Amino acid sequence: MTRINVTVDGVGYEDEVEPRTLLVHYLRETLGKTGTVVGCDTSNCGACTVHLDGRSVKSCNVLAVQADGHEVTTIEGLAQDGELHPMQRAFHDCHALQCGYCTPGMIMQAIDVLNDNPHPSEEQIRVGLEGNLCRCTGYHNIVKAVQQAADEGSTAGASAGATAGGAQ
């Protein structure tokens, strides 16, 4: 077992983990943060996307021990004081989900896209979401939601955890 110190959604945790524990399993099973889901075996689908020190990663392809000393933000850390994050609200407004399975990862990656580029073109949004698969929506409304969040400007990309840099 290896001792790790990780900040997840603003709260510090200290745990003993087996080195082989994947970050996504640590989040779901040790911390009970089941908002982050697993959608594949191959690190293709993106459903498990979280932010590690403010940049998006596939948490099924990171070991919990690699996150030792770092900060993780999950879908559960976005809403503040009961207020949805602007990207969550935009997904809701634009009907950007059907079954919702891809949504946690899609929203985390969409925020990363805006952190990188606050005013992306439609093409840049689609390319930025390349590693996130959705079997239901056909992506159209997802792209619209990201555009809406981008148009709202200011906070859309900013507040995924304390360390997320980018859009002002």
Partner 1 sequence: MIPARFDYVAPTSVADALSALAEAGDDAKVMAGGQSLLPILRMRLNAPETVVDLGRIEELRGVRDEGDHVVIGAMTTYADVLASDLVRQHAGVLTDAIEEVADPQIRHRGTVGGALVHADPAGDVGAPVLALDAELVVTGPGGERTVPAAEFFRDLFETAVGEGELLTAIRIPKHTGWGSRYEKFVRVAHQWSIVAVAATVRVEGGAIAEARIGLTNMGSTPLRATAVEQALVGKAATEDAVREACAAAAEGTNPPSDLNGDADYRKHLATVLTRRAVLAAAGA
N- to C-terminal Cα separation, the chain? 41
The Cα 104–Cα 91 span in angstroms is 11
Long-range Cβ contact pairs of 38-45 (< 8 A, separation 24 or more): 39/101, 39/102, 39/105, 39/133, 40/133, 44/131, 44/133, 45/102, 45/105, 45/132, 45/133
Residues numbered 50-89 forming contacts with ligand FAD, rule: CB under 6 A: 61
The Cα 17–Cα 158 span in angstroms is 31
The reply on whether position 127 binds ligand FAD by CB under 6 A is no
The reply on whether position 123 binds partner 1 by CB under 8 A is no
The least CB distance from residue 113 to partner 1, in Å, is 8
The reply on whether position 130 binds partner 1 by CB under 8 A is yes
Q: Which lies closer to ligand FES via its Cβ, residue 45 or residue 145?
A: 45
Sole binder of ligand FES in the list 98, 117, 147, 163 (CB under 6 A): 98
> CB count, 10 Å around CB of 133?
17
Joined together, the tokens standing for residue 28 give 């779901």
39 and 47 in contact (C-beta within 8 Å)? Answer: yes
Q: By CB under 6 A, which span of 66-74, 92-100, 120-128, 146-154 interacts with ligand FES?
A: 92-100
Residues 35-64 as x/- pattern, contact with partner 1 by CB under 8 A = ------xxxx-x--x--x--xxxx--xxx-
The reply on whether position 143 binds ligand FES by CB under 6 A is no
Binding site for partner 1 (CB under 8 A): 2, 18-22, 25, 41-44, 46, 49, 52, 55-58, 61-63, 65-66, 68, 109, 112-113, 116, 128, 130-132
Binding site for ligand FES (CB under 6 A): 38-40, 43-48, 58, 60, 97-102, 134-137
